[in-house]
């Protein structure tokens, strides 16, 4: 052992003694196969989400998009039926329908994976994934020309059954633990969807998708004016780099943790009863939305220790959206009895 550790490195050494077996001192990503890289083989077999490790469909027929498939293959990368896009990292990603205006009006595609260990009740978890709005692709008749809001992450204590045709489609629960409140419309870059929440149950499964009904969903049209009838009104979203951890710096957190600050230093207490304090965000434009995306309050943060009175609000989960100096950050907080 290098004896110089006994001075400058003593704190690190003591902090990591409990993690010697792992040879590192960092919080674990609880999501298996987070980049959708691990699969049985490289094929474009049907059903489209069979063969991928750990993940499976619990609603509809999501797609495993892969660079190992030929260019222009139905589920190949970067060119495929749905879009032209390089994966955020690695060689694969997932693709899910997040809105259909025609046909099955409440149709969604959700994917699910078992967490590596159950969440601990009362523990704060930091979550993120990357998402991209699909547009273009090599289909003769383009079918994906909408973008939608509320793409997110939802947790479950029980395994939902794998979806198979002709199973009925599950009804949207109109709730997500982590969501992107804006319309996710970037077709070029990968948008960071992130947030934190306090576990109120020993959740064992994580789902990705859009969990809100059409009536509660906002959309944006990509297609030009006067498009022919075969441009079907659908939104398709790519997903990559899924992360759930107890470490506020363990996942990419461009929306929630910035400038080296943890979420707890921005929004507290969480959970709350009568008041929520927003710290170190003076001048930010703020909005508060409920679990189904309805705007409840908006205004400006006017001090470095700003207090929002929430005693009369219904108990449940809320999203605080802060916009300052061109940067958007969202924080989830919970009101309890």
Would you tell me which CATH number, out of the four given (3.40.1350, 2.60.40, 2.60.120, 3.90.700), belongs to the domain 56-245?
Answer: 2.60.120
Dihedral (C-alpha) 197, 198, 202, 207: value to the nearest 10 degrees? -10
Exposed e or buried b for every residue in 266-297, given b needs 16+ CB within 10 A?
A: bbeebbbeeebebbebeebebbbbebbbeeee
Number of H helices, E strands in the chain: 1, 19
Q: What is the pLDDT of residue 227?
A: 58
Q: What is the pLDDT of residues 60-100, one digit of tens each?
A: 999 999 999 998 898 999 989 888 899 999 999 999 999 98
Tokens linked to 135: 């547009």
Q: In which region does residue 54 sit, left (phi positive, over 0), alpha (psi from -120 to 50) or beta (all else)? A: left
> Where does the pLDDT of residue 111 fall: very low under 50, low under 70, confident under 90, or very high at 90 and above?
very high
The CATH class, in words, for 263-335 is mainly beta
Q: Cβ neighbours of residue 188 under 8 Å, at least 6 residues apart?
A: none
Secondary structure of residue 21 in the 3-state scheme: helix
Secondary structure of residue 265 in the 3-state scheme: helix
Enumerate the domain spans of the chain: 56-245, 263-335
Q: What is the pLDDT of residues 94-110, one digit of tens each?
A: 999 999 876 666 889 99
Residue 300 has pLDDT above 60, yes or no: yes
Handedness of CA 223, 107, 244, 120 (dihedral sign): positive
- Strand pairing partners for 240? 130
Residue 116 near residue 125 (C-beta atoms within 8 A): no
Q: What is this structure's pTM?
A: 0.69
- Gyration radius (Cα) of the chain, Å: 21
Q: Is 65 exposed, middle or buried (0-12, 13-18, 19+ CB in 10 A)?
A: buried
């Amino acid at each position: 052992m290098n004896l110089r550790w006994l001075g400058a490195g003593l704190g690190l050494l003591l902090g990591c003694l409990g993690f010697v077996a792992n040879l590192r001192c960092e919080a674990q990503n609880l999501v298996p196969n987070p980049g959708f890289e691990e699969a049985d083989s490289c094929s474009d077999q049907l059903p489209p989400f069979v063969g991928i490790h750990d993940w499976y469909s619990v609603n509809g027929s999501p797609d495993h998009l892969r660079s190992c498939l030929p260019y222009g293959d139905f589920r190949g990368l970067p060119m495929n039926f749905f879009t032209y896009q390089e994966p955020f990292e690695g060689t694969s990603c997932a693709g899910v329908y997040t809105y259909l205006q025609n046909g099955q009006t409440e149709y969604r595609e959700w994917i699910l994976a078992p967490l590596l260990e159950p969440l601990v009740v009362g523990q704060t978890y930091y979550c993120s994934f990357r998402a991209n709005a699909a547009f273009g692709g090599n289909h003769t008749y383009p079918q994906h020309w909408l973008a939608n809001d509320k793409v997110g992450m939802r947790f479950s204590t029980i395994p939902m059954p794998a979806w198979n045709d002709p199973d009925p489609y599950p009804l949207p629960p109109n709730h997500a633990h982590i969501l992107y409140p804006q319309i996710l419309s970037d077709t070029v870059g990968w948008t960071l969807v992130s947030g934190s929440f306090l576990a109120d149950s020993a959740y064992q499964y994580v789902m990705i998708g859009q969990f809100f009904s059409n009536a509660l969903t906002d959309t944006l049209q990509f297609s030009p004016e006067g498009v022919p009838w075969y441009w079907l009104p659908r939104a398709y979203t790519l997903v990559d780099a899924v992360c759930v951890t107890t470490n506020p710096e363990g996942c990419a957190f461009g929306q929630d943790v910035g400038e080296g600050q943890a979420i707890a230093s921005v929004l507290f207490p969480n959970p709350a009863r009568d008041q929520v304090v927003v710290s170190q965000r003076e001048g930010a434009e703020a909005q508060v939305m409920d679990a189904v995306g309805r705007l409840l309050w908006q205004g400006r943060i006017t001090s470095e220790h700003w207090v929002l009175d929430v005693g009369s609000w219904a108990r449940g989960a809320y999203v605080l959206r802060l916009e300052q100096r061109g940067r958007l950050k969202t924080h989830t907080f919970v009101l309890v009895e």
